[in-house]
Chain A
Amino acid sequence: MIRLENVTKAFDDTVAIDDVSTVFEGGRTHVLLGSSGCGKSTLLRLILGLIAADDGVVRIDGQVMEPPTRRALLEKMGYVVQEGGLFPHLTAYGNVSLAAESRAWSEERIRARVDELSALVGFDDDILRLVPTELSGGQRQRVSLMRSLMLDPPILLLDEPLGSLDPLVRADLQLQLRDIFSPLGKTVVLVTHDIREAAIFGHTITLMTEGRIVQRGSFADLSTKPASPFVIAFLNAQRPTEDMRGLV
């Protein structure tokens, strides 16, 4: 479980996160939704301890995320970024196994775990031998997902994981990922600006703007009981208009 208590973060004079308190319950998939610059990625980086809050605390399973606890807390978290963030000098296999190697796992154990993860995302060995530049965008994201799951962390943080993919691959992978996540029982926090993605993944959707949470609930909650005119505007902005339907 991830809990944020009155978290504030500013960069220079710009307030990125403005007194946010919320809880991401364990075992569920939470979507952080909002347009770019709304603070959703910053929130994820605060949870990972990549940046420190100016005010307030982040707790992971009750423990405060701060320098002395960070290393231990990171063991519980996997992280996937837009375009994968794969190490270009390592093969897919090398990327996936890195965290385990750094913890001196045996080769057999690493191999077994990589096999499990390959099966999960539907890869064969040939793909794992390739370096990132030889992989397609969708493959890169799956390698990145495998890497984040290598140590089997209970929490998975995904920052626009499908953001750079073309629409068809994206739609396909959205469904695949949902099917991958559901049996794993992880606490997933997924950042996106895409409403369809939010609707597919999110047990809960947290809509943000200007560093604050506007509304939190299911997709049905947001569309039927919008908390403010912004929610209506945001949801409408990404819906095909009547006129466009006429064109198709």
Chain B
Amino acid sequence: MSDTRRLSGAGTRPWLGIHRALVCAAVLATPLAGPLTACTEGRPTVRVGSKSFTESYILGEIVADVIERAGEARVERRLGLGGTGITYRAVASGDIDLYPEYTGTLSQAILEDPAATTVEDIRRGLHGTGLTIGDSLGFNNTYALAVRREMSERLGLRALSDLERHPELEAAFSSGFTDREDGWPGLKRHYGLELAGVRVMEHALTYEALAAGEVDVIDIYSTDGKLERLDLAILEDDRRFFPDYQAVLLVREDFIERFPRTWRALEDELEGQIDEERMSRLNALADLDGEGFPQIVAEFFGREETGVRGQSRILADVLHLTGDHLYLVFLSLGVATLVGVPLGIVAARHKELGQVELAAVGVLQTIPSLALLCFMIPLFGIGKLPALVALSLYALLPIVRNTYTGLISIDRQLLEIAGVLGLSRGQRLARIEMPLASVHILSGIKTSAIWTVGTATLAAFIGGGGYGDLIVRGLALDDNTLILAGAVPAALMALVFHGLFELLDRWLIPRGLRKTLSENV
């Protein structure tokens, strides 16, 4: 009987391959789902958020430091979230407890009441939302437009109203500034301005563009660290357009109730304590001197930084984020496989439904990945869950499409013979069709895997973690080392995945099909 096993083991059940693949996917998906719901035991946790630009990071770290020292709660940092839309939803839904915000942003983008300019007005506006703000931290980080000093002198550009005479200039604005009523659209109307071109760019990159002469005007913040070092001229807001952007803490009222001592500490240590100059210097330490946040925070509080510094800290981050990243990739890939393969089978079985399905999955793919991530926030909040859902949706297309292609490209005669041999539909699928399509299906999963490794770097924008954390931080700080510390491991991981799938191919693809492949090459 051992002879039979030997014979059948090798050849008669290679369809096990696909079952193996599905089992792999399921196994990957299950235990990893645990950590999503864990992390709620022990000391109460305060989640501190921030947006993804230097100043917000620094304030977030400073806030976290104060809370940690107050000793009432453990701090979880959810720093570097994509933007106001994301941070506001996060604090409103309770995904984070507080984050640094600006009065101008609150009145314009959140309350949508431009008349609410003072801290009191805004507190009143927030009444009933479960949110409130503290007093100003002491500085006004307002928008301003800047040009190169050389150009300012050559063209006689001193104030915003001078721009009227130079419609030939080109601008690069950060995305928030381009869209907001208190940004470019309002400014344009208020001063009656026209510019030859307005490009939307990541804020940290606009300086490079300006310095390189690719654009002439950029939006800046009045506390930008680069102001003191780069030779820029700020255009005076001579017709008083930009509202106040006092830095404040936007906080959940239940946080103040639960941790009164912590809140008092924040008020005492931060409110009115940071002026423009001080903030600008802190920003410069990060943006220009490449100091890490722990050092900057230590410097702010006038103590010696004792923790790990520089390179070793980045290394620790990379190791920790590798786990994060793998978790995102494996789980979303597992889900996409478990959902995508059956969808591909359905598409191959039902011609019309199949076309609708493939079109729908294709449309999903046309949604920019960052936008897809943001769409998930109202449904799933911030953090890993929305990132996983978005990444799973994103990984679907290659898997569905390749399963479909693999199945419909099977030689019809073989299917007829399977019918003549009396195989039922289920047997035909499991023993003939899936194994014959396995080459296609696996290559679809491989494409998705490599793709997901890349896309998962965007998860950081909605607090999903992963290598993107370093990239987002690096972009905010204009720190190439940090960007590379995120991008290079991501690229390496993609390579490793490629290699792993080559090995997986050998294990999962039936021997007879591998032969065919190598002969065709």
Q: Which residues 103-132 of A sit at the B interface, judged by CB distance below 8 A?
A: 103, 107-108, 110-111, 125, 128-129, 131-132
Q: Which residues 42-69 of A sit at the B interface, judged by CB distance below 8 A?
A: 48, 50
B515 beta carbon closer than 8 Å to chain A: yes
Shortest distance from the beta carbon of B513 to any chain A beta carbon, whole Å: 5
| Contact call A125/B3, Cβ cutoff below 8 A | yes
Shortest distance from the beta carbon of A89 to any chain B beta carbon, whole Å: 4
A91 beta carbon closer than 8 Å to chain B: yes
Contact partners of A125 in chain B: CB under 8 A: 3, 7
| Contact call A91/B512, Cβ cutoff below 8 A | yes
| Contact call A74/B422, Cβ cutoff below 8 A | yes
Contact partners of B510 in chain A: CB under 8 A: 88-90, 131
Interface-side segment among A77-85, A163-171, A198-206, A237-245: A77-85
Report Cα–Cα, A208/B29, bound state, in Å: 61
| Contact call A107/B8, Cβ cutoff below 8 A | yes
| Contact call A147/B8, Cβ cutoff below 8 A | no
Interface-side segment among B9-17, B205-213, B460-468: B9-17
Contact partners of B11 in chain A: CB under 8 A: 90-94, 129, 131
Known: A97-B8, A107-B4, A129-B10. A88 touches B513 (CB 8 A): yes
Report Cα–Cα, A87/B417, bound state, in Å: 9
Shortest distance from the beta carbon of A94 to any chain B beta carbon, whole Å: 4
A36 beta carbon closer than 8 Å to chain B: no
| Contact call A90/B423, Cβ cutoff below 8 A | no
Is the contact region of chain A dominated by helix, strand, or loop, or is it mixed? Answer: helix
| Contact call A98/B421, Cβ cutoff below 8 A | yes
Closest residue of B by beta carbon distance from A144: B417
Shortest distance from the beta carbon of A248 to any chain B beta carbon, whole Å: 37
B431 beta carbon closer than 8 Å to chain A: yes
Contact partners of A129 in chain B: CB under 8 A: 7, 10-11
Out of B8, B418, B435, B515, which one reaches A133, CB within 8 Å?
B515
**Residue among B419, B420, B513 facing the most chain A CB atoms (10 A cut-off):** B420
| Contact call B431/A102, Cβ cutoff below 8 A | yes
Contact partners of B423 in chain A: CB under 8 A: 98-99, 102
| Contact call A132/B512, Cβ cutoff below 8 A | yes
A75 beta carbon closer than 8 Å to chain B: yes
Out of A79, A89, A102, A151, which one reaches B435, CB within 8 Å?
A89
How would residues 468 to 511 of chain B score, 1 for a CB under 8 Å from any chain A CB and 0 otherwise?
Answer: 00000000000000000000000000000000000000000011
B40 beta carbon closer than 8 Å to chain A: no
B1 beta carbon closer than 8 Å to chain A: yes
B370 beta carbon closer than 8 Å to chain A: no
A178 beta carbon closer than 8 Å to chain B: no
Out of A71, A85, A89, which one reaches B436, CB within 8 Å?
A89
Shortest distance from the beta carbon of B470 to any chain A beta carbon, whole Å: 44
Contact partners of B311 in chain A: CB under 8 A: none
Contact partners of B413 in chain A: CB under 8 A: 81, 85
Contact partners of B30 in chain A: CB under 8 A: none
A5 beta carbon closer than 8 Å to chain B: no
Report Cα–Cα, A13/B519, bound state, in Å: 40
Contact partners of A99 in chain B: CB under 8 A: 421-423
Contact partners of A94 in chain B: CB under 8 A: 8, 11-14
A134 beta carbon closer than 8 Å to chain B: yes
Q: How many residues of B contact A (CB 8 A)?
A: 35
Q: Which residues 411-430 of B sit at the A interface, judged by CB distance below 8 A?
A: 413-414, 416-424, 427
Report Cα–Cα, A90/B519, bound state, in Å: 17
Closest residue of A by beta carbon distance from B511: A131
A101 beta carbon closer than 8 Å to chain B: yes
B516 beta carbon closer than 8 Å to chain A: yes
Shortest distance from the beta carbon of A47 to any chain B beta carbon, whole Å: 11
Known: A89-B14, A89-B513, A134-B515. A50 touches B416 (CB 8 A): yes
Shortest distance from the beta carbon of A83 to any chain B beta carbon, whole Å: 9
| Contact call A79/B417, Cβ cutoff below 8 A | yes
Report Cα–Cα, A151/B422, bound state, in Å: 11
Contact partners of A110 in chain B: CB under 8 A: 4
Contact partners of A50 in chain B: CB under 8 A: 416, 419-420
Report Cα–Cα, A90/B435, bound state, in Å: 9
Out of B7, B15, B422, which one reaches A91, CB within 8 Å?
B7
B432 beta carbon closer than 8 Å to chain A: yes
Report Cα–Cα, A132/B511, bound state, in Å: 10
Contact partners of B10 in chain A: CB under 8 A: 91, 129
Shortest distance from the beta carbon of A78 to any chain B beta carbon, whole Å: 8
| Contact call B7/A128, Cβ cutoff below 8 A | yes
| Contact call B4/A75, Cβ cutoff below 8 A | no
Known: A87-B414, A88-B516, A133-B515. A93 touches B7 (CB 8 A): yes
| Contact call B3/A98, Cβ cutoff below 8 A | no
Known: A103-B422, A125-B3. A91 touches B12 (CB 8 A): yes
Contact partners of B438 in chain A: CB under 8 A: 89
| Contact call B7/A85, Cβ cutoff below 8 A | no
**Residue among A79, A81, A103, A131 facing the most chain B CB atoms (10 A cut-off):** A131
| Contact call B512/A131, Cβ cutoff below 8 A | yes
Contact partners of B513 in chain A: CB under 8 A: 88-89
| Contact call A93/B420, Cβ cutoff below 8 A | no
Closest residue of B by beta carbon distance from A50: B416
Report Cα–Cα, A132/B416, bound state, in Å: 18
Shortest distance from the beta carbon of A182 to any chain B beta carbon, whole Å: 24
Report Cα–Cα, A123/B422, bound state, in Å: 25
Out of B14, B419, B424, which one reaches A90, CB within 8 Å?
B14
Out of B417, B424, B512, which one reaches A85, CB within 8 Å?
B417
Shortest distance from the beta carbon of B425 to any chain A beta carbon, whole Å: 11
Contact partners of B424 in chain A: CB under 8 A: 102
Known: A50-B416, A85-B413, A102-B424. A93 touches B12 (CB 8 A): yes
Contact partners of A133 in chain B: CB under 8 A: 512, 515-516, 519
Name the 10 nearest CB pairs between A and B, nearest first.
Answer: A91-B11, A131-B512, A94-B12, A89-B510, A99-B421, A133-B515, A94-B11, A89-B435, A88-B512, A79-B420
Chain B residues close to A by CB (< 8 Å): 1, 3-4, 7-8, 10-15, 413-414, 416-424, 427, 431-432, 435-436, 438, 510-513, 515-516, 519
Known A-B contacts: A102-B423, A107-B8. Give 11 more (CB < 8 A): A50-B419, A74-B420, A75-B422, A81-B417, A87-B512, A89-B511, A90-B510, A93-B7, A99-B423, A129-B7, A147-B421
A-B contact list, 21 entries, CB within 8 Å: A48-B420, A50-B416, A74-B422, A75-B422, A77-B420, A79-B417, A81-B413, A87-B417, A88-B436, A88-B510, A88-B513, A88-B516, A89-B15, A91-B7, A91-B11, A94-B8, A94-B11, A98-B421, A111-B4, A133-B515, A147-B421
